[in-house]
Amino acid sequence: MRLILLGPPGAGKGTQATRLVEKHGIVQLSTGDMLRAAVANATPIGLQAKAVMEAGGLVSDEIVIGIIKDRIAEADAAKGFILDGFPRTVAQAEALEKLLADQNLKLDAVIELEVDQAALVGRIVKRAEDAKAAGQPVRKDDDPEVFKTRLAAYNRDTAAVTPFYEGRGQLSRIDGMKPITEVAAAIDKVLGS
Ligand code: AMP
């Protein structure tokens, strides 16, 4: 199974992806996680991406397309994957389409989690508080001001990705403001599982 979860930062993509990974035995490919690992390991890509990420901007298409291309080619992705946080621009969506077509692979679903953006800032504040309470590090980009920049980047660049898939008849929209279990059930319905 190969699917894409779309939606603004804080929409719950990560939560649903984790569940789908367990349920279907596929891998979650989160460009955000991969980039954070690159930053933590101070790799050449990490060094390039660090400042952009901390400011809430988008890392270049070239870098993220390269990361995804390499990751999809790894053995554990052969059974299927969920893309979380990618594609974030139409250029990325086009590159992915070509990448998959070259390997005769198809997407099973593209699911958009629709959310009330005003409510998202509240969710992010809570995510930062919960991480702090659990003694975990708080992501620098979960600071509410940086989060607003990430939301602006989403509206500027990523909102155009949804019509890209809608135009191809591949998009399913789900209300991401519902409780996690209801969102999960709606996703399973789309996937027929
Ligand atoms: P995320 O965890 O998906 O919210 O990603 C965290 C940050 O990583 C984003 O704010 C961007 O700076 C960067 N990033 C993650 N995925 C992408 C992508 N597909 N294109 C560009 N930048 C990305």
CA angle centred on 51, ends 48 and 52, rounded to 5°: 85
Instruction: Write the residue with the smallest CA distance to atom 19 of ligand 1.
Output: 86
185 Cβ partners below 8 Å, 6+ apart? none
> From the CA of 56, how far away is ligand 1's center (Å)?
8
Domain boundaries, the chain: 2-26+79-191
> From the CA of 138, how far away is ligand 1's center (Å)?
16
Query: What is the model's pTM?
Result: 0.87
Spell out the per-residue pLDDT of the chain, length 193, in tens: 999 999 998 899 989 999 999 999 999 999 999 999 999 999 999 999 999 999 989 999 999 999 999 999 999 999 899 999 999 999 999 999 999 999 999 999 999 999 998 888 887 888 788 888 999 887 777 787 888 888 988 888 888 999 999 999 999 999 999 999 999 999 999 999 8
DSSP per-residue letters across 55-85: HT-PPPHHHHHHHHHHHHTSGGGTT-EEEES
List the end-to-end C-alpha distance of the chain, in Å, as a whole number: 11
Decide if 11 contacts 115 (C-beta within 8 A).
yes
CB of 59 closer than 6 angstroms to any ligand 1 atom? yes
CATH classification of 2-26+79-191 is 3.20.20.150, yes or no?
no
Q: Is the peptide bond before 163 cis (omega within 30 degrees of 0)?
A: no
